């Protein structure tokens, strides 16, 4: 809910209605009341962080049906720590030397699945080696890329199928045949719940962001094979002591409140009524679609959106009729008062995407009115 508050006012920063999802750039998440309450309670007492990390990891592992889990300062941190785990395998000497390695530092990635977060593998000293080409990758191409210096294979799980690119299961099978661990980026693959569990079980180390389930923005976890999860934990900010001051992730700090927040958010995610959650989001989108229906040059509709959000609102704008194009509309929303952030202009250049999962009750009315105004209703 956009409301003024002392510190934002003092700093001169303007809050934003978030009609664009759990984006890091806008603060990622707003933990629900149940989560915040336990975080506040946890703030009041100190705890052995090692014990808290161990127990919270046990809880997540049990919930997801995997051997081990470790809470991190987000999904990217989970990917870095996972990479470091594969580079060091818990060895103290190797840990102390990172980001230098003994040469066994290759992380095999499918060329056709390039994305920005691959940087997580080079941060602790890994070197990306690509398999296949832009259009796809076969099992043979992947097998050829794996060699004596391969530390891990990595895979980004994302919606949509690619006939020409190996599936996660196929990739994992090739890695397994070569005795190489697979790191999976499953950041927001958290719904449906059986999909979440399958994703968690799909690799040797699987990484998630937990802002998507309502934990604080700067949280996530990795899970999977116990020995590798332990090696990853050793690279963390609490592992710094156990690794005699050598872990690469000392800067990846997490508060005890955050850890408790992840557990509470996961408990909630596995027990809430997801149909009701999705219906509520759908109703918000309906409200906004109805508001702009019939405006000349504007076509608004609800479309399927893969993943835990499920639906988005698409507004296609005919600039000749409305007198302004989609970029202009998006900028006006961003510069207006209150500031409104959408998912922005999507491929094609004439369509704005709006999601409702990060909106608060009533904000759909504000966005609806603003859209009418900007679109010249």
Partner 1 sequence: MAVTGADIYAKMGARAVINAQGNRTVLGGSATVPEVTEAMAAVNDTYIEMAELLARSGEYIADLLGVEAAYVTSGCSAALAFSAAACMTGRDLDKIAQIPDTTGMKSEIVIQKAQRYSYDRSFTVPGATLVEAGDEDGCSREQLEATIGDNTAAVAYLVRPGDPDSVLTLEQAVEIAHDAGVPVIADAAAQIYPLDYFRRNAQAADIACFGAKYMGAPQSSGFLCGKKELVDAASDQGFIAFQENGGRSFGRPMKLDKQEVVGVVTAVERWLTINHEDRLLVYEERLESMRQELGATPGVESGIEKVPQYYGSHLSVTVDPDVVGKTAQDIADELDAGNPRVAVSVVDDRTLTATSHALNEGEELIVAERIRAAASG
Positions 204 through 223 that interact with partner 1 (CB under 8 A): 216-218
Q: Which is nearer to partner 1, 224 or 261 (CB)?
A: 261
Tell me which residue of 151, 112, 148 sits closest to 128, measured CA to CA: 151
Token look-up 């210096």 returns 149
24 interacts with partner 1 by CB under 8 A: yes
Q: Sign of the CA dihedral 271, 273, 275, 280?
A: negative
For residues 209 and 198, what is the distance between their CA atoms, to the nearest angstrom? Answer: 16
**Residue 232 neighbours by CB under 8 Å, 6+ apart:** 70, 78, 81, 82, 84, 85, 205, 222
Q: Which of 63, 82, 88, 120 binds partner 1 (CB under 8 A)?
A: 120
Give ∠ CA 173-177-183 in degrees, rounded to 5: 55
7 interacts with partner 1 by CB under 8 A: yes
With contact defined as beta carbons under 8 Å apart, do 274 and 191 qualify? Answer: yes
Q: Which is nearer to partner 1, 3 or 179 (CB)?
A: 3
41 interacts with partner 1 by CB under 8 A: yes
CB of 176 to partner 1, least distance (A): 27
83 interacts with partner 1 by CB under 8 A: no
34 interacts with partner 1 by CB under 8 A: no
322 interacts with partner 1 by CB under 8 A: no
Q: Sign of the CA dihedral 2, 282, 261, 119?
A: negative
Q: What count of Cα atoms within 13 Å lies in the side-chain half-sphere of residue 262?
A: 31
For residues 135 and 232, what is the distance between their CA atoms, to the nearest angstrom? Answer: 33
**Residue 66 neighbours by CB under 8 Å, 6+ apart:** 200, 201, 206, 223, 224
For residues 238 and 241, what is the distance between their CA atoms, to the nearest angstrom? Answer: 6
Q: Which is nearer to partner 1, 322 or 355 (CB)?
A: 355
Q: Which is nearer to partner 1, 252 or 269 (CB)?
A: 252
76 interacts with partner 1 by CB under 8 A: yes
Judged by CB under 8 A, the number of residues near partner 1 is 90
CB of 373 to partner 1, least distance (A): 21
CB of 116 to partner 1, least distance (A): 3
Q: Which is nearer to partner 1, 44 or 179 (CB)?
A: 44
Q: What count of Cα atoms within 13 Å lies in the side-chain half-sphere of residue 323?
A: 5
Give ∠ CA 90-187-77 in degrees, rounded to 5: 40
6 interacts with partner 1 by CB under 8 A: yes
263 interacts with partner 1 by CB under 8 A: yes
Total residue length of the chain: 377
48 interacts with partner 1 by CB under 8 A: yes
Q: Which is nearer to partner 1, 176 or 253 (CB)?
A: 253
Q: Which range touches partner 1 (CB under 8 A), out of 123-131, 133-141, 146-154, 284-292?
A: 123-131
CB of 235 to partner 1, least distance (A): 11
Tell me which residue of 180, 176, 225, 215 sits closest to 70, measured CA to CA: 225
Sheet holding 310-317, edge to edge: 298-305, 310-317, 351-354, 344-346
257 interacts with partner 1 by CB under 8 A: yes
252 interacts with partner 1 by CB under 8 A: yes
161 interacts with partner 1 by CB under 8 A: no
Q: Which of 159, 160, 179, 245 binds partner 1 (CB under 8 A)?
A: 245
258 interacts with partner 1 by CB under 8 A: yes
Q: Which is nearer to partner 1, 25 or 276 (CB)?
A: 25
With contact defined as beta carbons under 8 Å apart, do 76 and 86 qualify? Answer: no
Q: Which of 134, 135, 177, 241 binds partner 1 (CB under 8 A)?
A: 241
- Residues 55-74 touching partner 1, rule: CB under 8 A, are 55-56, 58-59, 72-74
CB of 178 to partner 1, least distance (A): 26
- 205 strand-pairing partners: 183, 224
Q: Which is nearer to partner 1, 38 or 272 (CB)?
A: 38
Pairing of strands 351-354, 310-317: antiparallel
Q: Which of 237, 269, 305, 308 binds partner 1 (CB under 8 A)?
A: 237
């Amino acid at each position: 809910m956009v409301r003024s508050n002392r510190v934002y006012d003092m700093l001169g920063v303007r809050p934003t209605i978030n009609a664009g999802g759990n984006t890091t750039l806008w603060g990622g998440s707003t933990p629900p009341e149940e989560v915040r309450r336990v975080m506040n309670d946890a703030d009041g007492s100190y705890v052995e962080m090692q014990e808290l990390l161990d127990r919270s990891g046990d809880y997540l592992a049990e919930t997801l049906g995997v051997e081990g889990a470790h809470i991190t300062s987000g999904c990217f941190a989970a990917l870095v720590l996972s990479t470091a785990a594969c580079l060091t395998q818990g060895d103290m000497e190797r840990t102390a030397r990172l980001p230098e390695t003994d040469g066994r530092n290759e992380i095999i990635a499918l060329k056709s699945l390039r994305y920005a977060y691959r940087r997580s593998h080079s941060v602790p000293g890994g070197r990306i080696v690509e398999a296949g080409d832009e259009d796809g990758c076969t099992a043979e191409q992947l097998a050829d890329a794996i060699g004596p210096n391969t530390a891990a294979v990595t895979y980004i799980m994302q919606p949509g199928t690619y006939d020409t690119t190996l599936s996660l299961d196929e990739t994992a099978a090739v890695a397994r045949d070569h005795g190489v661990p697979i790191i999976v980026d499953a950041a927001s693959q958290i719904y449906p719940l059986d999909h979440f569990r399958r994703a968690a079980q799909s690799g040797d180390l699987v990484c998630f962001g937990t802002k998507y389930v309502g934990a604080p923005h700067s949280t996530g976890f990795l899970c999977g094979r116990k020995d590798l999860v332990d090696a990853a934990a050793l690279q963390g900010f609490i592992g710094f002591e156990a690794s005699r001051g050598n872990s690469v992730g000392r800067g990846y700090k997490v508060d005890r409140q955050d850890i408790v927040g992840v557990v509470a958010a996961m408990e909630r995610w596995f027990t809430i009524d997801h149909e009701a959650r999705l219906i509520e989001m759908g109703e918000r989108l309906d409200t906004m679609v109805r508001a702009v229906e019939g405006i000349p040059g504007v076509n608004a509709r609800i479309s399927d959106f893969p993943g835990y959000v499920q639906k988005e609102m698409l507004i296609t704008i005919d600039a000749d009729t409305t007198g302004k194009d989609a970029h202009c509309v998006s900028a006006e929303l961003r510069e207006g008062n209150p500031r409104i952030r959408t998912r922005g202009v999507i491929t094609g250049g004439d369509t704005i995407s709006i999601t409702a999962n990060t909106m608060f009750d009533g904000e759909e009315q504000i966005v609806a009115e603003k859209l009418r105004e900007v679109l010249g209703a």
